[in-house]
Amino acid sequence: MLILTVSLGAVCPGSPLFAQSPLPTASAEDRALARGIFKELIEINTTDTPKGNVTAATSAMQKRFLDAGFAAEDVRLLGPDAQKQNLVVRLRAAGLTTEKPVLFLCHMDVVEALRSDWHTNPFEFVEKDGYYYGRGTQDMKESDAALVATFLRLHREGYKPKRDLILALTADEEGGKFNGANWLVRQHRELVDAAFVINPDAGGVELEHGRAVVADVGATEKVYSDFQITAVNAGGHSSRPRPDNAIYELTAALNKLAAYVFPFELNEVTRTYFTNLAGQESGQTAADMRAILATPPDLAAAARLSAEPSFNSNLRTTCVATRLQAGHANNALAQTAQANVNCRIFPGHSPEEIRQQLIGIFGDAKLSVKYVSDAGEVSDTAPERKAMVPPAPIKEVFAPLTRLTQEIWPGTPVTPVMENGASDSIYFAQAGIPCYGYSAIALERDDDRAHGQDERLPVDSYWKSLDFFYAFSKALGGE
Min dist. Cβ of residue 230 to Zn ion (A): 33
Contact call for residues 436 and 198 (beta carbons, < 8 A) = yes
CB nearer Zn ion, residue 139 or residue 206: 139
H/E run at residue 38 = helix 28-42
Min dist. Cβ of residue 140 to Zn ion (A): 5
Backbone angles phi, psi at 147, to 5 degrees: -75, -35
Contact call for residues 106 and 46 (beta carbons, < 8 A) = no
CB nearer Zn ion, residue 215 or residue 358: 215
CB nearer Zn ion, residue 140 or residue 315: 140
Min dist. Cβ of residue 468 to Zn ion (A): 18
Min dist. Cβ of residue 407 to Zn ion (A): 26
Query: Residue 421 to residues 197, 258, 309, 411: CA-CA distances in angstroms?
Result: 17, 21, 14, 28
Min dist. Cβ of residue 38 to Zn ion (A): 16
CB nearer Zn ion, residue 105 or residue 231: 105
Backbone conformation region of residue 235, classed left if phi is above 0, alpha if psi is from -120 to 50, else beta: left
Min dist. Cβ of residue 109 to Zn ion (A): 8
CB nearer Zn ion, residue 140 or residue 339: 140
Contact call for residues 38 and 441 (beta carbons, < 8 A) = no
Exposed, middle or buried, 258 (CB in 10 Å: 0-12/13-18/19+)?
Answer: exposed
How does DSSP assign 230-262, residue by residue? Answer: EEE---EETTS--S--HHHHHHHHHHHHHH--P
H/E run at residue 400 = helix 395-408
Min dist. Cβ of residue 452 to Zn ion (A): 13
Backbone angles phi, psi at 86, to 5 degrees: -100, 155
CB nearer Zn ion, residue 140 or residue 198: 140
Angle at 337 between CA 333 and CA 343, to 5 degrees: 165
Q: What gap in Å lies between CA 113 and CA 451, rounded to an integer?
A: 8
Min dist. Cβ of residue 27 to Zn ion (A): 29
CB nearer Zn ion, residue 70 or residue 123: 123
Which residues form the interface with Zn ion (CB under 5 A)?
139-140, 201
CB nearer Zn ion, residue 183 or residue 274: 183
